[in-house]
């Protein structure tokens, strides 16, 4: 059985694993995201040891961004303009290729998770769908017509602008570029900034969740109208609040106002906007799926 390495490169931690699917993970390790030198060498050391134990076929990296996923580009494999200290213009793929001598697949964390869900999870059999994470940031990826969405660079769904009623919600948003873009209003740090307590500590009945569902639904409405996804998967720490799902379903339903007539939306909203089937492992399994894809598996 072939073995693949996967790295879910996140802003707070790198999750590394070796295996070939959800039922077949041979090893796993986590390293805090500190400096590129330190964190990348820890990931390399883990994979090198695994490769020595039993050869790996390829490696996949699913990373926070913005990044360059274009194989022909001089900065392919780099995290590019991130505001995260130390990580701007960081070559992730180069050092891995050099240290391991293996093909390396590379994409955004959310495109990776989308590919994992397509292969093993909630997007099996679909050709057009979206995967969003609502966590430290808010990001979206997915497939259109069976291909991961790239385009010019890659989607930046979290930075779309959504209506913001300043009277009802005076919180200005936290995005360093746009203030009250979707991420600025609806990712985990926005909940903390608005309500002065970490999102995980807000009780399930707190009004924060109705407002959060309102913002999520506004962005989802645009995504539904633009991409016509067959399903939308919502992952990330904030979506651990399962009471958010029915609130989001109701608000999306209201916003669509009967305009889009599809049984998936009208009769099956629970499945249309749903959590990842791979749960919190969607990210690292997605990275393994990127490794498989780079060698045509």
Which residues sit at the interface with ligand ADP, rule CB under 6 A?
A: 10-12, 135-136, 188-189, 192, 198-200, 236-238, 240-241
Rounded Cα distance between 229 and 144, Å, is: 8
Asked whether 272 and 231 are in contact (CB, 8 A), the reply is yes
- Taking the complex as a whole, how short is the minimal distance between the CB of residue 181 and Zn ion, in angstroms? 3
> Which of 35, 228 has the CB closer to ligand ADP?
35
* Contact between 159 and Zn ion per CB under 5 A: yes
Dihedral sign of CA atoms 252, 253, 259, 263 in order: positive
- Residue 188 binding: pick among ligand ADP, Zn ion, none (C-beta 5-8 Å cut-off by kind): ligand ADP
Up-side HSE of residue 67: CA atoms within 13 Å toward CB? 25
Binding-site partner at residue 241 among Zn ion, ligand ADP, none, CB < 5 to 8 Å by type: ligand ADP
Name which of 11 and 21 has its Cβ closer to ligand ADP.
11
Instruction: Tell the smallest beta-carbon distance from residue 86 to ligand ADP (Å).
Output: 16
Least Cβ distance, residue 252 to ligand ADP (angstroms): 20
User: Least Å distance between CB 214 and ligand ADP?
Assistant: 16
For the bound state, the minimum distance from the C-beta of residue 12 to ligand ADP, rounded and expressed in Å, comes to 4
How many whole angstroms separate alpha carbon 248 and alpha carbon 275?
A: 12
| Closer CB to ligand ADP, 139 or 256, in the complex | 139
Structure tokens at 181: 């873009």
What span, in angstroms and rounded, lies between the C-alpha atoms of 222 and 161? 10
Region from 32-40, 72-80, 143-151, 169-177 binding Zn ion, contact rule CB under 5 A: 169-177
Binding-site member from 38, 177, 262, 270 for Zn ion (CB under 5 A): 177
Q: Which helix (H) or strand (E) holds 178?
A: none
Q: Going by C-beta distance under 8 Å and a sequence separation of 6 or more, which residues neighbour residue 39?
A: 14, 31, 32, 33
34 makes contact, choosing from ligand ADP, Zn ion, none, with CB < 5 to 8 Å by partner type, with none
Nearest to 216 by CA among 200, 203, 235, 201: 235
Query: Is residue 175 close enough to count as binding Zn ion by CB under 5 A?
Result: yes
Contact string 110-149 vs Zn ion (x = CB under 5 A): ----------------------------------------
Query: What is the C-alpha separation between 28 and 173, in angstroms, rounded?
Result: 36
| Dihedral sign computed on CA atoms, order 218, 220, 221, 225 | positive
Is residue 130 a contact partner of residue 220, using CB atoms and an 8 Å limit?
Answer: no
The least CB distance from residue 110 to ligand ADP, in Å, is 11
Interatomic CA distance for residues 113 and 239, integer angstroms: 15
- Give the one entry of Zn ion, ligand ADP, none that residue 136 binds, where binding means its C-beta sits below a cut-off of 5 to 8 angstroms depending on kind: ligand ADP
Q: Are strands 273-274 and 138-144 parallel, antiparallel or unpaired?
A: unpaired
C-alpha–C-alpha distance, residues 289 and 270, integer Å: 26
CB of 202 to ligand ADP, least distance (A): 7
Contact string 22-51 vs Zn ion (x = CB under 5 A): ------------------------------
Site of interaction with Zn ion (CB under 5 A): 159, 175, 177-178, 181
């Amino acid at each position: 059985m072939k073995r693949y390495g996967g790295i879910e490169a996140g802003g707070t931690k790198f999750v590394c694993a070796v295996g070939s699917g959800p039922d077949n993970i041979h090893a796993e390790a986590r390293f805090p995201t500190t400096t590129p030198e330190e964190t990348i060498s820890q990931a390399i050391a883990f994979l090198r040891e695994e490769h020595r134990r039993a050869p790996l076929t390829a490696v996949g990296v699913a990373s926070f961004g913005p990044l360059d996923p274009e194989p022909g580009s001089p900065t392919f494999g780099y995290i590019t303009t991130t505001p995260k200290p130390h990580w701007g213009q960081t070559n992730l793929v180069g050092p891995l290729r050099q240290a391991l001598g293996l093909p390396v697949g590379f994409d955004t964390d959310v495109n990776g998770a989308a590919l994992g869900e397509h292969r093993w999870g909630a997007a099996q059999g679909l050709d057009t769908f979206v995967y969003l994470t609502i966590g430290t940031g808010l990001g979206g990826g997915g497939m259109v017509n069976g291909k991961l969405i790239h385009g010019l660079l890659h989607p930046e769904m979290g930075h779309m602008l959504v209506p913001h009623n300043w009277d009802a919600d005076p919180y200005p948003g936290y995005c360093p570029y746009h203030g009250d873009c979707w991420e600025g209003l609806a990712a985990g740090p926005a909940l903390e900034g608005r309500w002065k307590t970490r999102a995980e500590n807000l009780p399930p009945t707190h009004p924060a969740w109705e407002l959060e569902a309102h913002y999520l639904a506004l962005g989802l409405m645009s995504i539904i109208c633009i991409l016509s996804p067959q399903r939308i998967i919502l992952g990330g720490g904030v979506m651990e609040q399962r009471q958010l799902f029915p609130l989001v379903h109701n608000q999306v339903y209201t916003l669509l106002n009967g305009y889009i007539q599809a049984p998936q939306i009208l009769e099956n909203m629970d499945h249309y906007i749903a959590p990842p089937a791979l749960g919190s492992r969607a990210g690292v399994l997605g990275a393994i799926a990127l490794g498989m894809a780079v060698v045509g598996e």
